[in-house]
Structure 1
Amino acid sequence: MNIPDANTTFPLENYDKLCYLKNIIANPNIIVGDYTYYDDFEDVYNFEKNVKYLFDFIGDKLIIGKFCMIASGVTFIMNGGNHLTEAITTYPFAIFGVDWQNAMQGKSYPTKGDTVIGNDVWIGHDATIMPGVTIGDGAIIASKSVVTKDVEPYSIVGGNPAIMIRKRFDDIKINQLLELQWWNWDIEKITKNVHHLTGNDLNKLIE
């Protein structure tokens, strides 16, 4: 078998605008699965620049599954961008120190936890993913969308804020796909089934 190597940075010959994303990530709080790719019109190293407000002292993570497709300009807003919303002011006095350093004593900025992208997720050009969102396996995020809440597996969402446009399959097929978890097969089995994976007869994969 001649299988694409998940540890290759640039899997397309003579083209450096698409990469297997895990191979360029330096931040330990960004975790990416095998074969997830990122395409950037300018420079694939823009990806980490587009993960905004990911501060070590907050501790949240961006977790992306396997075989995801992330288009140019996708932005992830992390919890470090949050401000107080129920206080008299949203102004972050404490970060400027000196006599303001105790402004947050006994308080904490709001956090919504990790941002989790499932497997086989397609995120379109210039979409924005807000903090703490979970996007289910097999979902599609339309271009320019702003995702403010969790996205169900195998659903298509779009808009600002993003809302469900439709499910990709009926509930029975979605449950079968979620049980199948083809992305967790060994790569040899995936390779033997790529023709079926790009078809629409699920029974060929279940047999």
Structure 2
Amino acid sequence: MTIPDENAVYPNPEIKEVVFIKNVIKNSNIEIGNYTYYDDPVNPLDFEKHVTHHYEFLGDKLIIGKFCSIASGIEFIMNGANHVMEGISTYPFNILGGDWQKYTPTLTDLPLKGNTVVGNDVWFGQNVTVLPGVKIGDGAIIGANSVVTKDVAPYTIVGGNPIKLIKPRFKTEVIQALEKLAWWNRDINWITINVPKLTQETPTIELINDLMKKMNTLKKL
């Protein structure tokens, strides 16, 4: 059984525009799960350049789960982009330096939104912008050219500027069962064997139960 190496930069050496992100980032405030990839025909190694206003002193993190698919044009805007809004002016005098620097706002003054968290098996279309502090659930699909201004529920399809719900991907009971299955946390050999069931069959409670049963059998072995 030949499986792409989770520690490789290029999972498929013949396709140089696709990289496993966790193997090219250096910022400790960016956490990426195994097998999550970034596809960019221009410079796929520069994923970190698409995480903007990410200042270490703020401490906010970008956390992305496993098996996510991220297309070119992505931009994660972090909390450093926020300005104080309570006064007359929103101008960030402090970051321009000089005598203005002493007027640096405290962390409690800034409208911080917390970590940006992306679940597992999330698909981002091209040219998506994600605003600070957003939470995106497992299995969600973000349409091309979208601006993600609010949280996205698991296994829903959203799109637009700002995003709107297009539709849930599956029935509520199926989504709940898929969240319990959490296939991305399974042994990679189990995942590889079950790729056809994960990608080619419409999910039903019966199918998910069958996958759970096989998973439990594998544990016993």
What TM-score bracket applies, with the shorter chain setting the length?
over 0.9
RMSD of aligned residue pairs (Cα, Å)? 1.4
Question: Quick one: distance in 2 between partners of 1:58 and 1:94?
Answer: 15
**CA deviation digits over 1:160-198, x for unaligned, max 9?**
000100000010000000011010011111112111111
Matched with 1:5 is 5
The letter for the 1-side match of 2:109 is S
- Tell me the amino acid that sits aligned with residue 175 of structure 1: Q
TM-score (norm 2): 0.89
Counterpart position of 1:91: 91
After superposition, the C-alpha distances for 1:118-150 in whole angstroms (9 at most, x for unaligned) are 000001100000000000000000000000000
On the 8 A contact 1:77/1:131 being kept in 2, the answer is: yes
Structure 2 alignment gaps of length 5 or more: 214-221
Q: CA deviation at 1:98?
A: 3.6
TM-score normalised per structure 1: 0.95
* Paired amino acid for 2:138: D
Unaligned runs of 5+ in 1: none
Q: Deviations over 1:31-82 (max 9, x none)?
A: 1000001000201123111110001011100000000000011110000010
Q: Is the 8 A contact 2:174 2:203 kept in 1?
A: no
Who is 2:217 aligned against? none
- The CA deviation at 1:105 is 5.6
1:205 Cα deviation (Å)? 1.8
Q: Compare 117-126 and 181-190 and name the one that shifted more.
A: 181-190
State the distance in 1 between where 2:164 and 2:128 align.
Answer: 13
Preserved contact between residue 40 and residue 46 of structure 1 (Cα < 8 Å): no
Map residues 73-92 of structure 1 onto 2, 5 A cutoff: 73-92=73-92
Query: Equivalent residues in 2 for 1:1-207 (5 A)?
Result: 1-104=1-104, 108-198=109-199, 199-202=201-204, 203=207, 204-207=210-213
Mark the CA change 1:12 to 1:195 in structure 2 (over 3 Å): closer, same or farther: same
Structure with more of its chain in helix, by fraction: 2
Amino acid at match of 1:111: L
CA distances 1:5-33 after superposition (whole Å, capped 9, x unpaired):
11111112322100111111111111100
